[in-house]
Structure 1
Amino acid sequence: MDQIRELAALLHPMPEPGSVTPDDCFSDACDQVERERKDYADNLEAAAFGTEGDPVILALEQARAEKEEADRRIRRILAYAKEFQPPRRYILDELGRASGYSISGVRTAYTPEEIGLVQSQIRRDPRRSVSGEDPS
């Protein structure tokens, strides 16, 4: 159980004094972190008990899954920016810096399937077809 509490503290650090604005919300922010730590520890403990898994390994697996989900979100946002916004609205260098991708990585970050997913979620067609041809 100590290991689980330590992982909760590691992954949900307390705010530093002076880091919360306005200052009188610092106590509330600390209370929120305490709730997050408790929820995380309870969930991790239940997962470890239910699977007889090691809490550190489970925490790493969860972090990896969150990282993969974040990468999927980045790819969908890049598809949106490049395929659904006016041409040249976002330059590759700007998108690369913001996403952590190289310029060539931005060009190849998403697939036609991801463009289709964005299209279905925002309910409008891309400015060009998935094949790369301009529909006009």
Structure 2
Amino acid sequence: MPAPEAAVSDEEVDTAVRLAETLTGDIAELREEETFRLEAVSEALGVDPLLLALGGLKTQKKAVDAQIRRLPAYDREFHDSHLCGLEELARHSGHTFSGVRTGYGAKEIQAVAEQIGRQPNHPARQRRQDAMSAAKEGAPGKVRAAVQETSSPCSGRIAPPLQGR
């Protein structure tokens, strides 16, 4: 059963209309300022404003992609119990289940550590890399020990070692 709608006074409607008009005007003003800024920079550099805008968006995209790699690293490496499951991280990050585990590396882990001011609680990636190194060296006891350390405390399954990047 839907909740009953609250009565809205004429004064509240007028306030909402004025706010919408103000916001619309502000947005138009911001667009005009951005167009002016792009044209000024374009003339100063001798570059088409479209190319400047695309370059700026490409830079933003790289920053967002880096953040999308750092957030799973934060979840997987810096918490005793993971905040989110791999499936959920995959769905929200646009990666596959495996891509969440392999989508970040030492660089992202270090960036998170610097940002939050502490080292990882469970450096799972390092343990998996140690297992891969031990496997390459042909040391089965070291491999077994390293793989046992990569067991997920949540699922009880053993996480397979990652391929080196």
TM-score, structure 1 normalization: 0.72
The answer for the alignment partner of 1:90 in structure 2 is: 84
Q: Which runs of 5+ in 1 are unaligned?
A: 1-21
1:72 aligns with 2:66: yes
Of the three residues 10, 18, 30, the one matched with 1:36 is: 30
- Find the structure with the greater CA-based Rg: 2
| Deviation for aligned residue 1:36 | 2.2
What CA distance in whole angstroms lies between the structure 2 residues aligned with 1:48 and 1:101? Answer: 36
Q: Which residue identity is paired with 2:126?
A: S
Residues 13-55 of structure 1 deviation map (CA, whole Å, 9 limit, x = unaligned): xxxxxxxxx8342123213312321332122112211211112
The answer for the alignment partner of 1:109 in structure 2 is: 103
Does structure 1 conserve the Cα–Cα contact (< 8 Å) formed by 2:75 and 2:82?
no
Stretch of structure 1 that moved more, 24-33 or 69-78: 24-33
Aligned residues: 113
1:23 aligns with 2:16: yes
Aligned-residue CA RMSD in angstroms? Answer: 2.0
What CA distance in whole angstroms lies between the structure 2 residues aligned with 1:74 and 1:26? Answer: 33
The answer for the alignment partner of 1:62 in structure 2 is: 56
TM-score, structure 2 normalization: 0.61
The answer for the alignment partner of 1:131 in structure 2 is: 126
- Which one scores higher on RCO, CA 8 angstroms, separation ≥ 6? 1
Helix, strand or coil: the match of 1:131?
Answer: helix
Runs of 4+ in 1 over 3 A off after TM superposition: none
